[in-house]
Amino acid sequence: MAEVIIHEGYVDRKEGARLAKAEARGELEAAKRDELASTLQACADLRRHTAMLPDSLGIPASRCWA
């Protein structure tokens, strides 16, 4: 399984300039990005739903991925 490392404090020059403009206009909260990209969020949702499948069907998980 893959591991994701998040560097919350790092922004590149383009993002820094955008944040500085937003801060000057008082729109800093609106300028923040989502925690996950939409594609990564869809993948996480799919994995979460797949993990719950055996429980919702009432069968042992070992029968689903044997």
pLDDT tens for each residue of the chain, 66 residues long: 678 777 667 788 898 898 888 888 877 665 566 677 888 888 888 888 888 877 778 877 666 665
Q: Is the pTM of this model over 0.75?
A: no
Q: Is 33 left (phi over 0), alpha (psi -120 to 50) or beta?
A: beta
CB atoms within 10 A of CB 22: 15
Q: Which structure tokens are listed for 61?
A: 């998980």
pLDDT value for 39: 86
The pLDDT of residue 14 is 92
